[in-house]
Amino acid sequence: MSTNAAAPSNFIRAIIDEDLASGKRSGVVTRFPPEPNGYLHIGHAKSICLNFGLARDYGGRCHLRFDDTNPEKEELEYIRSIKEDVRWLGFDWGEHEYYASDYFEQLYEFAVELIKQGKAYVCHLTNEEMREYRGTLTEPGKDSPYRDRSVEENLELFEKMRRGEFGEGECVLRAKIDMASPNVVMRDPVLYRIKKMEHHRTGDKWVIYPMYDFTHCLSDAIENITHSICTLEFENNRPLYEWILEQVYPEPHPQQIEFARLNLSYTVMSKRKLLDLINRGVIDAWDDPRLPTISGLRRRGYTPAAIRDFCDRIGVAKTNSMVDMALLEHCLREDLNQNAERRLAVLRPLKVVIENYPEGEVEYLEAQNNPQDPDAGTRLVPFSREIYIEREDFMEDPPKKFFRLAPGREVRLRFAYFITCTDVIKDAEGNIVEIRATYDPETKGGSAPDGRKVKGTLHWVSAEHSVPAEVRLYDHLFTVEDPNEGDIMDNVNPNSLEILTDARVEVNLADVEVGEKFQFERQGYFCVDPDSTPERLVFNRTVSLRDTWSKVKGN
């Protein structure tokens, strides 16, 4: 086994290195174990990159295991989306696709084994009673009156539970560990509960379902997982994980290792909260481009490479912290700056008529596709007498520092000519509706033979030769860094989406495909939305050009 020198070292790799060096392990098998009760988000991406990354770097393998023990919430649509998202991120589980529900029979046998050892019992306390008996963090719990039943009686009762002879909530199977343990998790935890509910994979075969803590460690063991990596909140569950395996499973046991979950500013990640936002109509669906879901990020225009880069940079730690959303955006800009071709698009058009340019004439000007990538070549952009520029690039009465177009002012049109504003046309209400200008034919390509300079360079499109488009601009979904502080609904940003319906984009964008990404010069990076139709293109602004992370943090 060799480690990948390029991979950043961390405490998990240190543990694995030691296990391999000492001979405790001869290889690495990890797993990514989503519960199919929602779509994956950027936090899951961290776990995916970590688990699949370790398997890749140590020449091992990573399983995709659906932790589908709760029949209430699981849906096939979630399973489909999870597989799509993991693949899209660039990872492959090969033939190692598993479902905890496939182990129900084996898990049942392990429970029977625990009962036979006198280490599990059927308990009839109500939920409320059980809570009272459990004690608190500072006081020990009390033994259940059902705790000392005989093995025979427990076997019989557990069998009856399986046969459906008890109603929901009438009884549970509990581990018999220690009601006085300082760790509340170890106070005779529930292993099985009754749920008379169909399961999406096992149908009506089962009316009892194993709890997460019982299922997870045994599923890991059954699959020969070597290192079971989970988030910090499971630290207190580790003794139970180990206890269960010690009772019923031969060594070597998988080792649970906890790391800090990812929290990202200005957003929420819990699937429950995301679903709540959908149900309340704040957003439409799991793939809303404002969400931190993988499908939302994909629709927004994020690339798998940018997300993987982000996960590498944040690394793994032992303490929870909040990561700045600006870092995620920074990783994306770095990728798109290298790889996205440039195009001209006017988001809020203002017409300019170039009066000395011949009517009906059109010329095709050469434009560079990507200054970062010499291989990207050039394209031809049509120029004509009537063009659109950005409304905000013109001011009738500009302040001193405004270097764009204004009456009498000369500017450069990107890849084209210098133009000078000669007149401003207004409607009856005094709104500016059109600009009149002249161009200097000597400045083709953007420089003047007499060496005179202009301060502003504007993007533009030919009026006749451009294509209409809808453009969706996004802002953070929440107005505060941590939306969980206070009522989350009070923190929703009412201006997180702005839709521009009369944008005009250069004709070379006419036949783009959904998911294609471009830099619209001076406006940011944009991605073709699935809502696009042959009649109407829809673009999402992925991210603006201004990189707040490198500027503010001095990175």
Catalytic residues: 35, 261, 271
Distance of CA 289 to the CA centre of its chain: 10
Helix or strand run (H / E) with residue 466: strand 466-474
Which tokens is 414 given?
A: 């990107």
231 binds, among ligand ATP, Mg ion, none (CB under 5 to 8 A by kind): ligand ATP
Q: Within 13 Å, how many C-alpha atoms sit on residue 502's CB side?
A: 9
Least spacing, CB of residue 192 vs ligand ATP, in Å: 20
- 269 is an interface residue for ligand ATP by CB under 6 A: yes
Among 17, 35, 113, 143, binds Mg ion (CB under 5 A): 35
Question: What CA–CA distance (Å, rounded) separates 151 from 157?
Answer: 10
Q: Which is nearer to Mg ion, 141 or 210 (CB)?
A: 210
CB of 65 to ligand ATP, least distance (A): 10
Question: Does 46 help bind ligand ATP (rule: CB under 6 A)?
Answer: yes
Where do we find the tokens 């210098």? Answer: 418
Q: Does 35 bind ligand ATP (CB under 6 A)?
A: yes
Cα angle 236, 266, 480 (rounded to 5 degrees) comes to 105
Compare residues 270 and 356 and give the one whose CB is closer to Mg ion.
270
**Partner touching 420 among ligand ATP, Mg ion, none, CB below 5 to 8 Å by kind:** none
Compute the least distance from the CB of residue 65 to Mg ion, in Å: 13
Q: Which amino acid is at 181?
A: S
Question: Segment near Mg ion (CB under 5 A), from 27-35, 192-200, 362-370, 519-527?
Answer: 27-35
Count of CB atoms within 10 A of residue 546's CB? 10
Q: Please measure the distance between the N-terminal and C-terminal CA atoms of the chain and give it in whole angstroms.
A: 35
Nearest-approach distance from CB 271 to ligand ATP, in angstroms: 3
Strands annotated E in 113-242: 120-123, 172-175, 190-194, 208-210, 227-231
- Position 324 contacts Mg ion (CB under 5 A): no
The C-alpha atoms of residue 284 and residue 146 are separated, in whole angstroms, by 49
Distance CA(161)–CA(154), nearest Å, equals 10
How many residues make contact with Mg ion (CB under 5 A)?
1
Query: Residue 48 or 208: which CB sits closer to ligand ATP?
Result: 48
In the set 34, 254, 301, 524, which binds ligand ATP (CB under 6 A)?
A: 34
Whole-number minimum distance, CB 46 to ligand ATP, in Å? 4
Residue 402: exposure state from Cβ atoms within 10 A (0-12, 13-18, ≥19): middle
CA distance linking residue 460 with residue 393, whole number of Å? 10
Touching Mg ion, residues 400-459 (CB under 5 A): none
> Looking at beta carbons only, is 157 or 262 nearer to ligand ATP?
262
Residue 261 binds ligand ATP (CB under 6 A): yes
Q: Is 33 in the site for ligand ATP (CB under 6 A)?
A: yes
| 330: enclosing H helix or E strand | helix 325-339
To which residue do tokens 């046998």 refer? Answer: 109
Member of 236, 270, 321, 555 binding ligand ATP (CB under 6 A): 270
Closest CA to 88 of 291, 308, 267, 269: 308
Task: Pick the binder of ligand ATP from 43, 239, 315, 407 (CB under 6 A).
Answer: 43
The minimum distance between CB 34 and Mg ion, in angstroms, equals: 8
Q: Look up residue 421 and give its amino acid.
A: C
Piece of 122-130, 269-277, 331-339, 497-505 that binds ligand ATP (CB under 6 A): 269-277
CB 459 within 8 A of CB 365: no
For residues 231 and 262, what is the distance between their CA atoms, to the nearest angstrom? 9
In 3-state terms, what secondary structure has residue 211?
A: coil
Residue of 29, 112, 186, 230 interacting with ligand ATP (CB under 6 A): 230
Q: Is 212 in the site for Mg ion (CB under 5 A)?
A: no
Residue 146 or 212 having the CB closest to ligand ATP: 212
Q: Which stretch binds ligand ATP (CB under 6 A): 102-110, 127-135, 262-270, 314-322?
A: 262-270
Q: Which is nearer to Mg ion, 70 or 369 (CB)?
A: 70
Collapsing DSSP to helix, strand or coil, 148 comes out as coil
Q: What is the CA radius of gyration of the chain?
A: 31
The crossing angle, in degrees rounded to 10, of helices 304-314 and 42-57 is: 80
Query: Interface with ligand ATP by CB under 6 A: which range of 41-49, 143-151, 438-446, 509-517?
Result: 41-49
Query: In degrees, to the nearest 5, what angle opens at C-alpha 321 toward C-alphas 317 and 326?
Result: 110
Which range binds Mg ion by CB under 5 A, 28-36, 46-54, 95-103, 232-240?
Answer: 28-36
Asked whether position 261 contacts Mg ion by CB under 5 A, the answer is no
Distance CA 423, CA 408 (A): 8
Pick the stretch among 28-36, 57-65, 121-129, 187-195 that binds ligand ATP (CB under 6 A): 28-36
**Residues at the contact surface with ligand ATP, assessed by CB under 6 A:** 33-35, 43-44, 46-47, 230-231, 261-262, 269-271
**Residues at the contact surface with Mg ion, assessed by CB under 5 A:** 35
